[in-house]
Amino acid sequence: MTLKPMSEAEMLTHAGNAIERIDRHGERGAMQVTTEETIALAMIAHLHALAPAQGQLSKSALSTMNPKQETAS
């Protein structure tokens, strides 16, 4: 299975779907979480750890989230 890079909005949607499924169905819902949802949850956790105290994502974090959006400086 080939996964395409996700935008921030896509990550938040996938992660929200996973959380809703787990919240609604408990352990059975956790077993139904998709690969995309798992990756989205992991990336959001990773990016949150990289975010400065001001709550903004660094260029490094943004490029990790969606490498196709890197800009030439």
Q: How many CB atoms within 10 Å of residue 1?
A: 4
Q: Mean pLDDT over residues 43-66, rounded?
A: 65
Closest CA to 33 of 70, 60, 42, 68: 42
Residue 73 confidence (pLDDT) above 50? no
Domain positions in the chain: 8-52
Q: Is the full-model pTM beyond 0.85?
A: no
Q: Which pLDDT score, from 0 to 100, does residue 25 have?
A: 95
pLDDT tens-place string over residues 23-50:
999 999 999 999 999 999 998 888 777 6
**In Å, how far are 9, 59, 67 from 16, measured between CA atoms?**
10, 24, 22
Q: Which pLDDT score, from 0 to 100, does residue 65 have?
A: 56
Q: Mean pLDDT over residues 54-61, rounded?
A: 58
Tokens of 43: 């990336």
Tokens of 56: 């903004």
Mutual angle of helices 8-25 and 35-50, in 10-degree steps:
120
